[in-house]
Amino acid sequence: MAHSNRDPTTSRHVAVIGAGAAGLVTARELRREGHSVVVLERGSQIGGVWTYTSQVEPDPLSLDPTRPVVHSSVYKSLRTNIPRECMGFTDFPFAARPHDGSRDPRRHPGHSEVLAYLRDFAKEFDVEEMIRFETEVVRAEPAADEENRGKWRVESRSSDGAADEIYDAVVVCNGHYTEPRHAHIAGIHSWPGKQIHSHNYRVPDPFKDQVLAQGSHHYTEACGLVKSLVSSLNSWMVFFLFPLQIVIVIGSSASGVDISRDIAKVAKEVHVSSKSTSPDTYEMLPGYDNLWLHPVIETARKDGSVVFQNGKTVYADTIMHCTGYKYYFPFLDTKGEVTVDDNRVEPLYKHVFPPALAPGLSFIGLPWQITPFPMFELQSKWVAAVLSGRVSLPSQGEMMEDTKAFYNKLEASGIPKRYTHLMPDDSQFEYDNWLADQCDYPRIEKWREEMFYIGFKRIYAQSATYRDNWDDDHLIVEAYDDFVKFMSSYPELLPLLKT
Ligand code: FAD
C-alpha cells in the first residue's frame, strides 16, 4: 500500500458531478475523509439511472446532439440482474424489508426498490445536504489563472442562473448509460422502417398492433399466407384481428434479452440479432413461439427487408438497438489530457486518475460487467484518501507507464480497445481488492464474489428464469450473517434481517 507522510488531515474542496449511486457514495467517502463536498446534479432527485420515467427523448435514436436529454435508460419491467445481497454497498446492506409493504422484497427487485435503497443510503448518511439539484455542470477545466493553478474551474447552470466556481478537485460521476451506441447496418439509410435505441424504450405497448395502412410489407417470408389473407381484409379488421408488429432487436446482452422478451409478449414476431452466436444460427427461443435468435444483420433494404448472416430475410417494422452506450463527458475540457477513443477513456491510471491531472481529476464508475456499487465505494475511498494525502499515488511517469503497460497487455491479448473498461472473470474482484488494500479496507467478501459468479452463469444458463430460480441459498445465509455486523449502525433494520 502506498502511504504518504503528508498531513493526513488535508481537507480539499471537491466538486462531485452527478448524484447517482457513484456520486452518493463518493460524497459520503469524501466527507468521511474530511473534505468539503458539493454534489452538482442536473436532475431533481438522487438515483441517476434508477429514477425511472415514462418520458423519452424526441429523437428515438438519440442522434441529435441538441436534443433534450432524458438521463434514465431504465424500462418499466426492469428487475436487477444482480442479486440484491451482492449488489449493495459493502457497509449498507441491500437487505429485503419484508415488513414494509411499500418495498419490493424480491431477490432481484424492480428498479423502484433500487431507488428506495439509494434513498435510504442518502438519508442514513445525510448525503442530500451536500447536493445542489437541478444544477448542470456545463464546463469543468483546469483553472488557467496563476492564483488558482492546480485547481479546477467548474461552470454550472441552474434556475438561479450560471455559476463559475473554483474547486481543489473534481470527481466525475456522470454515469455511462445515457449516450447510445448504434449498430452499423449496411443499407440502413434506405430502409423504410422505424428505429429506436433501448435508451428510449419503456413499455412494449407501442409494439402491439400495426394497421395495414402503416406498411404493406410487414410480414415475414414465412407469412405469405397471412399476407394474402390480410390483403383481402380492410385495415380496420386487420387492426383488431392481427398484431402485426415485427421487431428486430439488435443485441443479446442484458437489455436485449429483457426487451426482446417484453416485446414478444405483444408483438407478432421478434427477431434477436446477436453477434455472439454462430453465423448459421436460426432458432426459436425456448418458451416462445414468436421469438427467434439470428446472427448479425448483413443488410437492410429499401423494400423493408432485413437479411441476416444466416441467409434469413425478415420484413420488419422496427429495429430496436440494444447496443449499449458510450462514455460521454460533454462538459469536460482537459486540454487534450483525457480523450475518449473507441470507448476507452484514456489515459487513466487504474480506470480512475489521468496521470497528468491527478489527483485533481478522477472518474468513478467506468468499469462494466461488474457489481457496480461496491466498486464505486472502493474507488471513492481511494480517491478520498489520495486527496487527503493519507495515501499517495505513484509519480506521473510511473502511472503513465503502468497505464501503457495495461493497454499493451490488452492489445497483446487481442482485446479490442472498446473493451478497455470491461472487467471479465476474476478481474473485477482483483481490482476491488487492490483498491481495498490501498485504503486499508477489508477485501470483498468471498460470498459476494461467489454469488456474483454463480449469478452471472445463471443468467446465461436460464435467461428466462434466473431472477426467480436459484440454488445458492447457502450464500444468502452467509450474506445475511455478514450483514448483521453492520446492524449496530442501522438498528431499525436488524429485526427485518432476522426474519
Ligand atoms: P448514473 O446512475 O447514471 O448517475 C449519474 C448522475 O449524473 C445522474 O443523476 C445524472 O443526472 C448526473 N449528471 C450527468 N451529467 C451531469 C452534468 N453535466 N451535471 C450534473 N449532473 C449530471 N447495476 C446493478 O448494480 N444492478 C443491475 O441490475 C443493473 N441494471 C442496469 C440496467 C440498466 C438498463 C442500466 C442502464 C444500468 C444497470 N445497472 C445495474 C448499472 C447502473 O448504471 C449502475 O448500477 C449505477 O446505478 C450507475 O450509477 P452512476 O452514479 O455511475 O451513474
pLDDT tens digits along 354-404: 999 999 999 999 999 999 999 999 999 999 999 999 999 999 999 999 999
Does residue 73 contact residue 53 with C-beta atoms inside 8 Å?
no
Lay out the sheet containing 136-142: strands in order across.
Answer: 136-142, 152-158, 161-167
Q: Which of 27-31, 187-191, 204-208, 376-380 has the lowest mean pLDDT?
A: 204-208
Element containing residue 268 per DSSP (H, E): none
Average pLDDT over residues 194-209: 94
Ligand 1 close to Cβ of residue 40 (< 6 A):
yes
Confidence of residue 496 (pLDDT cuts 50, 70, 90): low
Summarised one tens digit per residue, pLDDT across range 66-94 is: 999 999 999 999 999 999 999 999 999 99
CB contact set of 273 (below 8 Å; sequence gap of 6+): 183, 248, 249, 250, 251, 252, 294, 295, 296, 297, 308
- Ligand 1 atom 15 nearest Cα: 174
Closest ligand 1 atom, residue 174 Cα: 7
Report pLDDT for 425. 83
Summarised one tens digit per residue, pLDDT across range 433-455 is: 999 999 999 999 999 999 999 99
Q: What is the pTM of this model?
A: 0.92
- Ligand 1 centre and the CA of 223: distance in Å? 42
Per the structure block, which three cell numbers stand in for 495?
429485526
- Ligand 1 centre and the CA of 72: distance in Å? 7
Does residue 52 contact residue 111 with C-beta atoms inside 8 Å?
yes
Closest ligand 1 atom, residue 330 Cα: 18
- Ligand 1 centre and the CA of 112: distance in Å? 14
Does residue 246 contact residue 263 with C-beta atoms inside 8 Å?
no
Confidence of residue 463 (pLDDT cuts 50, 70, 90): confident
Does residue 49 contact residue 428 with C-beta atoms inside 8 Å?
no
Ligand 1 close to Cβ of residue 448 (< 6 A):
no
Q: Is the pLDDT score of 215 beyond 80?
A: no
Ligand 1 close to Cβ of residue 251 (< 6 A):
no
Q: Which region, left, alpha or beta, applies to residue 304 given φ > 0 means left and ψ of -120 to 50 means alpha? A: left
- What is the pairing mode between strands 297-300 and 305-308? antiparallel
C-alpha 203 chain-centroid distance: 19
C-alpha 30 chain-centroid distance: 23
**What letters, b where the CB count within 10 A reaches 16 and e where it falls short, cover 280-314?**
ebeeebeeeebbbbbbbbbebbeebbbbbbbebbb
- Ligand 1 centre and the CA of 49: distance in Å? 4
Report pLDDT for 243. 52
- Ligand 1 centre and the CA of 372: distance in Å? 10
SS3 for 124? helix
